Amino acid sequence: MEAFGNFKKGILNIGEAPGEAEDRVGKPWQGRTGKLLEKTYASLGIDLFEDCLNINAINCHPEDNRTPDNYEIDCCRKIVLRVIDERKPKLIIALGNSAIYSLFGRRWKKDLGGISKWRGWTIPDQDLNAWVCPTFHPSYVERENAQEVDTIWKDDLKQAFELVAGSRSVPFPVYKEPHVEFIADLSRLRKEIPSGSIVAFDYETTGLKPHATGHRVVCASVATSGDHAYTFFIPDRRKDVLPFIELLKDPTIGKMAHNMKFEEAWSSEIFLAPVQNWEWDSMLAAHLLDNRQGITGLKFQTFVNFGVVDYASEISPYLHSVDQKDGNAFNQIDKLLDLPGGREKLLMYCALDSIFEYKLAMVQRSEIILPF
């Protein structure tokens, strides 16, 4: 089935698969759920066929009207991506699990989860150069026939449409590569980060917890904004680490992290320097803003807020220990350091963590309405 619609407002709808009615007519959204979608869009000022282009995660009607499997969606993904590349939508409405898997299944390296995890986010997807807004498939809304589901669905759609078709349309935010400085002389931190500053910092370590003999902080990064960070390996001599330790202990400089209990534990155990003046924990704030499971990790929050889907998959395997049940077990970070380019990749990964922690904290503060 070909993509259908006049696409006047640059909105692309991705459904699941053609149903019997669609297969018979050769046009999407012709059955009962299609009529529900058309009516709901109209109530929000959007014409389903004039303002939108309509496709599905798979192109053919599945036998017995079943849900398409992941293999079928994988086979049809190239068609979906070709439509996106050729037509360049401003907004993509991903309706249901199949659409989520079509768009994210090849790119999201962790547990993908389902629509309940992804619905409601307005994702500035940097790979697709479009807002991606997942929500329930209309068949689910019709099947549940519940006021709360209908309300959430309409709120999701209204929020999505306002990005491109409302009086307050939002320009697509193009991600710019941050300025990362690889430094060896840590005295620069004290010279270039003045009192009254707020920074985000992050560690890459030899394990999850610091209490076993031999554990160490391998490298660290300090972000001074959402566009700039210092990143460095921890020197062997304590006197060379002192400028960083002084930064941690400086009560005039605010500190931020994502799940700060780990940075606190490593700072106290390895550097004997409990952190002074914690300002923000972006993981705790993510819990406060949205209590769904599986959404508070930094990589997920980075994707849904900034559209950067993956900067970690090459590094992550080395940061996990073989014994997942032992929090004090050692990971494989030293193997990464021995690889060609491994040291630089680890430093950049660490820097990006602190930069996204900083950017995320700024977004959260504005949403909670707490100015710095």
Q: What is the mean pLDDT of residues 5-16?
A: 97
Q: What is the pLDDT of residues 123-181, one digit of tens each?
A: 999 999 999 999 999 999 999 999 999 999 999 999 999 999 877 788 999 999 999 99
Q: What is the pLDDT of residues 212-244, one digit of tens each?
A: 999 999 999 999 999 999 999 999 999 999 999
Model confidence at 246, pLDDT cuts 50, 70, 90, reads very high
pTM: 0.95
**Burial grade of 221 (CB within 10 A; 0-12, 13-18, 19 or more):** buried
Q: What are phi and psi of 197, to 5 degrees?
A: -75, 165
Indicate the residue type of 14: I
First to last CA, the chain: 53
| DSSP annotation string for 300-356 | HHHHHHH----SSTTTGGGGS-S-TT-TT-B-SHHHHHHSTTHHHHHHHHHHHHHHH
Share of the chain above pLDDT 70, in %: 99
| Residue-level pLDDT at 63 | 77
In the CATH hierarchy, which fold is given to the domain comprising 11-164? Uracil-DNA Glycosylase, subunit E (3.40.470)
Model confidence at 202, pLDDT cuts 50, 70, 90, reads very high
Pairwise CA distance, residues 82 & 242, whole Å: 54
Q: For CA atoms 163, 169, 174, 176, give the dihedral sign.
A: negative
Model confidence at 326, pLDDT cuts 50, 70, 90, reads confident
- Do 11-164 and 179-368 come out as alike in CATH topology? no
**Of 107, 125, 227, 224, nearest in space to 174 by CA:** 125
Mean pLDDT estimate for the chain: 95
| Residue-level pLDDT at 370 | 62
Chain centre distance of CA 91: 17
C-alpha angle 233-238-239 in degrees, rounded to nearest 5:
105
Three-state DSSP state, 184: coil
Half-sphere exposure of 268 (CA within 13 A, CB side): 11
Domain 179-368 of CATH type 3.40.50.10490: no
Half-sphere exposure of 113 (CA within 13 A, CB side): 12
Model confidence at 359, pLDDT cuts 50, 70, 90, reads very high
- Residue spans of the domains in the chain: they are 11-164, 179-368
Model confidence at 105, pLDDT cuts 50, 70, 90, reads very high
What residues contact 187, with CB distance under 8 A and at least 6 apart? 243
- The residue with tokens 């400028």 is 243
**Of 228, 229, 232, 209, nearest in space to 220 by CA:** 232
- E runs forming strands in the chain: 11-15, 52-56, 91-95, 123-125, 130-135, 179-182, 198-205, 217-225, 228-233, 254-257, 278-281
Q: Is the pLDDT score of 321 beyond 90?
A: no
Share of the chain above pLDDT 90, in %: 88
Q: Is the pLDDT score of 372 beyond 70?
A: no
| Residue-level pLDDT at 16 | 95
Question: Which tops the pLDDT comparison, 61 or 280?
Answer: 280
Q: Which two tokens stand for residue 334?
A: 């030293």
Q: What is the pLDDT of residues 24-66, one digit of tens each?
A: 888 999 999 999 999 999 999 999 999 999 999 998 888 777 8
The answer to whether the beta carbons of residues 208 and 328 sit under 8 Å apart is: yes
Chain centre distance of CA 280: 19
**Of 95, 84, 157, nearest in space to 125 by CA:** 84
Q: For the chain, what is the total number of helices (H) and then of strands (E)?
A: 14, 11
Model confidence at 102, pLDDT cuts 50, 70, 90, reads very high
**Of 284, 178, 171, nearest in space to 225 by CA:** 178
C-alpha angle 72-78-82 in degrees, rounded to nearest 5:
145
